[in-house]
C-alpha cells in the first residue's frame, strides 16, 4: 500500500488560471470553521445567468480539492450548461488543508490522529458551510459532491452514509483500498430509505490496490439487491490517475443529470411539451428542475430556426418573464421577433438586451449591439 499511497498523496500539479480572469461571477474567501478549528479557502463560481433573476435558485456542486480541481470543473459546467446538457450550477471549491485526515472515514493505527476524520469534516460541511452558502446565495435543494483519489473515497463515503445530506456524488479514481477496502463493506441494501442518491464512480488505468478496489466495487454493485443508490461505473483506460478528473467529471455530471436535455438532437418542443418533459423528469429523478436561462434560450432558438416561429417566440417570452434581466434571452427574443417579421417588438427586445448587456458587462455585448444596429437601420 505504501507505493500507492505515495502516488495518491502527491500534490496535484494541474495548471490553473487565476479565478478572477477565468470566471466573471466568482469570488474567493476564507471560512473560519469552529468545528475544524481552522480557516478553509472557499471558491465560488456563480452561473452566468445568476444576475438575470432575483429569485431563481440553482443546484450546487461541492468540489473537494478545490485548489486544484475547481477551475476545470467550473469551466466545463459553464460550457455544458450553456447548451442545456446539464443544469446551471453554483460551483463551490473547498480547499483541503489535511486530505488524509478529512477524507478517510476510519482511523489506521499507523496514522493515529492523522486519519479517520471524515465524519467531523462532514459536520463542518453540513452544519457550517452549507448553511452559510444558502444564506449568501440562491441555492436549490440539490447538492452534488465530487472528489478525486482520497477525496473520491470521501464522496463515496457521503453517497453511502449521508443520503439525507446530498443528492448525488461523483468519485473519480477513488481510493477504495483504504483500510483494507473498508468502504466496500458499507454497500448494503437500503430499499426503504426515503432518500435516493445518484452515484457515479470511475477508474483510469491504475495499479495494484486501486484496480482491485474498483473490481470489487463492480462486483458488489452488479450483484446488489434493491438499494437507494442509482449508480453508474465507468472505466477510462486511456487516462492516468492525474488526467482522469478532466473527463471523469464531465461524464459524471452527465450521469448525475442523465436525461436532462429535453431536445438533445435537432428535435424541437413547444413550451407545453417542455413543461411536461420536466415534470416527468422531476418524477423520475426526484428533483424538480425549473427551466433556467440557457434552457429557454436553447429550446427557443431551436424552435425558431427549425421554422416553428410561434413556439420559439412563446418559449423565449416565457424566459424573459422568468429572467427579466437576461440580455441573452432578450437578444434571442429579438431574433425570433425579427424572423417573425415583428420588427417593432424585435427592436424593443433588442433595446432591453443592450441595456442589460451593458449593465452586466456581458461577453455577448458585440453580438447584441450588432443586431441592435441592424434593427435600427431597418426601422429607418
Q: 69-85 pLDDT, tens per residue?
A: 999 999 999 999 999 99
> Residues 50, 356: contact at Cβ < 8 Å?
no
Helix 309-322 to helix 293-305 angle (10° resolution) is 160
The three three-digit cell numbers of residue 1, written as one number: 500500500
User: Is a pLDDT exceeding 80 seen at residue 15?
Assistant: no
User: Is a pLDDT exceeding 80 seen at residue 44?
Assistant: yes
- Which domains does the chain show, CATH number per domain? 2-256 (3.40.50.1820), 271-379 (1.25.40.10)
Taking alpha carbons only, the member of 321, 368, 375, 367 closest to residue 348 is 375
Residue 129: partners with Cβ closer than 8 Å, 6 or more residues away: 31, 33, 40, 42, 94
226: number of Cβ within 10 Å: 9
The three three-digit cell numbers of residue 82, written as one number: 450553456
> Residues 364, 357: contact at Cβ < 8 Å?
yes
pLDDT given at position 226: 60
Taking alpha carbons only, the member of 90, 89, 154 closest to residue 125 is 154
Taking alpha carbons only, the member of 327, 346, 281, 367 closest to residue 53 is 327
What value does the mean pLDDT take over residues 255-271?
A: 93
- How far is the C-alpha of 370 from the C-alpha of 364, rounded, in Å? 10
pLDDT given at position 347: 98
Confidence class for position 284, pLDDT limits 50, 70, 90: confident
More confident residue, 184 or 5: 184
pTM for the full model?
0.91
Taking only the tens place, the pLDDT of each residue in 77-116 is 999 999 999 999 999 999 999 999 999 999 999 999 999 9
H/E segment holding residue 231: strand 229-236
Tell the residue number behind the cell numbers 431597418, with chain if given.
Answer: 378
Amino acid at each position: 500500500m505504501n507505493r500507492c499511497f505515495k502516488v495518491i498523496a502527491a500534490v496535484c500539479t494541474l495548471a490553473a488560471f487565476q479565478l478572477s480572469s477565468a470566471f466573471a461571477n466568482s469570488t474567493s474567501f476564507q471560512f473560519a470553521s469552529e468545528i475544524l478549528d481552522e480557516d478553509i479557502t472557499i471558491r465560488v463560481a456563480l452561473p452566468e445567468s445568476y444576475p438575470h433573476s432575483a429569485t431563481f435558485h440553482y443546484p450546487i456542486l461541492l468540489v473537494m480539492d478545490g485548489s486544484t480541481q475547481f477551475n476545470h470543473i467550473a469551466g466545463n459546467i459553464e460550457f455544458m450548461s450553456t447548451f442545456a446538457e446539464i443544469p446551471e450550477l453554483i460551483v463551490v471549491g473547498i480547499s483541503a488543508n489535511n486530505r488524509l485526515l478529512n477524507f478517510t472515514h476510519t482511523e489506521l493505527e499507523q496514522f493515529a490522529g492523522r486519519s479517520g476524520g471524515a465524519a467531523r469534516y462532514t459536520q463542518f460541511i453540513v452544519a457550517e458551510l452549507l448553511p452559510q452558502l444558502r444564506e449568501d446565495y440562491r441555492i436549490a435543494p440539490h447538492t452534488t459532491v465530487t472528489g478525486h483519489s482520497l477525496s473520491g473515497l470521501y464522496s463515496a463515503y457521503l453517497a453511502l452514509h449521508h443520503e439525507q445530506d446530498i443528492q448525488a456524488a461523483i468519485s473519480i479514481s477513488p481510493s477504495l483500498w483504504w483500510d483494507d477496502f473498508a468502504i466496500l463493506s458499507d454497500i448494503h441494501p437500503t430499499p426503504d430509505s426515503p432518500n435516493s442518491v445518484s452515484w457515479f464512480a470511475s477508474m483510469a488505468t491504475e495499479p495494484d490496490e486501486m484496480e482491485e478496489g474498483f473490481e470489487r466495487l463492480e462486483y458488489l454493485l452488479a450483484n446488489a439487491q434493491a438499494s437507494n443508490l442509482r449508480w453508474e461505473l465507468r472505466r477510462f483506460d486511456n487516462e492516468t490517475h492525474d488526467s482522469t478528473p478532466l473527463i471523469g467529471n464531465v461524464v459524471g455530471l452527465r450521469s448525475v443529470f442523465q436525461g436532462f436535455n429535453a431536445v438533445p438532437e435537432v428535435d424541437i418542443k413547444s413550451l407545453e411539451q417542455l413543461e411536461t418533459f420536466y415534470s416527468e423528469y422531476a418524477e423520475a429523478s426526484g428533483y424538480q428542475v425549473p427551466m433556467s436561462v440557457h434552457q429557454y434560450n436553447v429550446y427557443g432558438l431551436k424552435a425558431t430556426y427549425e421554422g416553428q416561429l410561434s413556439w420559439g417566440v412563446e418559449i423565449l417570452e416565457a424566459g424573459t418573464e422568468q429572467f427579466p434581466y437576461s440580455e441573452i434571452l432578450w437578444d434571442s427574443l429579438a431574433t425570433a421577433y425579427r424572423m417573425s417579421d415583428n420588427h417593432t417588438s424585435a427592436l424593443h427586445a433588442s433595446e432591453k438586451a443592450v441595456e442589460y448587456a451593458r449593465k452586466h458587462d456581458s461577453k455577448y455585448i458585440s453580438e447584441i449591439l450588432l443586431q441592435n444596429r441592424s434593427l435600427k437601420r431597418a426601422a429607418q
